[in-house]
Amino acid sequence: MTDHVLVSIEDGVQIVTMNRPDKKNALTAEMYGALADAIVTADADPKIRVTLFTGAGDAFTAGNDLGDFAKAGTTPVDQQPTGKTNVQRFLENLAEAKKPIIASVNGLAVGVGVTMLLHCDLVYAGTSATFQMPFVNLGLVPEAGSTFLLQRQIGIQKAADLFLTGKKLTAEKAEAIGLIADVFPDNALPIEALKRAKALAAKAPNAVRVTKALLKDNDRPRVGEARETEGRHFASQLRSDEVKEAISAFFEKRTADFSKFS
Ligand code: COA
């Protein structure tokens, strides 16, 4: 158990809060484990009809903990008895979830913080939320089927613009290009997102589950294929000198220098 992920249930909604605000809710292996377990619990527990992901403080999540990334280059930090890492379990459970998952993006969403949104069924954000996928800036590549999902969702030019430049999108822009469903004033977001989650939880559960499946099932094989291919490249980049340079630069608060790489 970790208190870096808080879980509660309210009127059929499982509220899952990433709770490491001093580190902008950057995700550790332990946190991924708790998030992965919450999805399994939701699918198994008839009292839960919808899961709502959000973040504590002023961030949704700053993505994978960069210290863990640095260690992962040399040691399998969170290998589970299943042979899968917690991050793999989380991303697979998220992609395969049977019940709806809503994200309430209350601030910055970076890296996997955006990747996970592509697997959620509904994404709401506060006005000041931002969205950024700086994988390339870190010497990494996209993950979890996102090269397929993102271009399917917003088109290849917009997807390339996010992946290759690592630029930051505002909530307004994210809504305009179809990355998210709706934007609310920051202070109204928690109430509005929970209200919508509860309304969904009150609907006919089987109709909701089947509708979710109908929306997702056609793409499942392509997503699985992309997830596997991306995973191989991601693992190999994680061990690369490009990543070492990028992560050292982050913690040394300097710009990464990739000029020596070919
Ligand atoms: N991993 C580990 N620690 C992180 C982190 C991450 N992904 N993101 C933020 N933190 C830590 C910072 O190191 C800092 O810790 P400190 O107070 O001990 O120095 C703390 O969280 C607050 O972050 P800070 O950078 O001071 O806040 P900011 O508002 O100026 O910037 C971000 C926020 C998210 C833009 C910036 O922290 C950032 O770029 N983080 C890296 C994001 C990233 O690359 N994620 C992986 C994507 S694949």
Task: Count Cβ neighbours within 10 Å for each residue of 176-210 and write b for 16 or more, e otherwise.
Answer: ebebbbebbebeebbebbbebbbebbeeebeebbe
Q: Quick one: which atom of ligand 1 is closest to the CA of 113? A: 47
pTM higher than 0.85 for the full model?
yes
Residue 114: which of 122, 105, 126 has the closest Cα?
A: 105
Distance CA 75, CA 125 (A): 36
- List the structure tokens of 231: 């995973």
Specify the amino acid at residue 249: A
Residue nearest to atom 38 of ligand 1 (CA): 62
Yes or no: say if 99 and 50 are a contact pair by the CB < 8 Å rule. yes
Please give all residues whose beta carbon lies within 6 A of any atom in ligand 1, as ranges: 23-24, 26, 62-67, 108, 110-111, 134-135, 138, 140
Amino acid 158: pLDDT: 97
Task: Provide the residue ranges of all domains of the chain, joining segments of one domain with +.
Answer: 5-186+205-251
Residue nearest to atom 39 of ligand 1 (CA): 62
Q: How far is the CA of 164 from the centre of ligand 1 (A)?
A: 20
Amino acid 1: pLDDT: 67
- List the structure tokens of 20: 């490491």
Between the alpha carbon of residue 40 and those of residues 6, 48, 50, 83, 163, the distances in Å are: 15, 11, 12, 17, 30
Distance CA 94, CA 36 (A): 7
Q: What is the chain's pLDDT, residue by residue, as a tens digit (262 residues)?
A: 689 999 999 999 999 999 999 999 999 999 999 999 999 999 999 999 999 999 999 999 999 999 998 887 665 546 566 788 999 999 999 999 999 999 999 999 999 999 999 999 999 999 999 999 999 999 999 999 999 999 999 999 999 999 999 999 999 999 999 999 999 999 999 999 999 999 999 999 999 999 999 999 999 999 999 999 999 999 999 999 999 999 999 999 999 999 999 9
Distance CA 133, CA 111 (A): 4
Q: How far is the CA of 41 from the centre of ligand 1 (A)?
A: 30
Yes or no: say if 31 and 24 are a contact pair by the CB < 8 Å rule. no
Was domain 5-186+205-251 assigned CATH 3.30.300.30? no
Contacts of 4 (CB under 8 A, 6+ apart): 18, 19, 20, 28, 30, 31, 34
Task: Supply the DSSP symbol for 28.
Answer: P
